[in-house]
Structure 1
């Protein structure tokens, strides 16, 4: 047993089922009195691409499970909510609502009130949202080209 380490059963803590369960919990006796210096791992390399918090948050919100499908539909034409549900049948009403709100909050989609009685709303892609079309198409092209390699890597990993 390492010095400065006590076993849980050595200090009088035991279970009423000692014959069934054994304690193998170890901890140090006290904390270190010497501060350890941890090297900074956030050094930015010149010219390197970094994804900081605001960027990561935006990408998480815009590149989630349903956003690309919604953006694909809205790039073709403005749609009402039920048109989007019919175009993306696997999405639930709750997920589609949350996705549209996230995209609207980030300025990618706008919600346009068509009439007040009965309430009719249409969703359109904004000019900012249209600027995302090219990078997303490049990403999807990369996926189309490299998907066989990805699938081979997945199969190899799953066999291990």
Structure 2
């Protein structure tokens, strides 16, 4: 078939241009839908990866906080080192945006852990300033904050 035959055939089918335009429009719409859905799938994968990373970070910090308040940890490091560790863990948790947690059930244990670490740090700083940090760590208030840290850390460890 040569171009003359093809040109003749096109000229003698006046509705052909409409059909080609309709098929092209449908194809363009299909491609646009495919591109948009692939972008949504990519965004969903990125969101899942970010949520997993945040969850892993929170679980790691919670596990470190649990170890930091254990009696073995306190006795194996200097009191100033222990205070700095608690302060660092609290600072890390404070930087995590509570409104962007991967799951709603993380909010309460996360807040409990952060608040308990904040109170423990404040109590330790005050006791250090008054030079009775070692004594304060074995008293009721410190024991309460340590227990709250351990409880929240265990709740976070069980989250999925």
TM-score (norm 1): 0.31
Larger Rg: 2
Bigger share in helix: 2
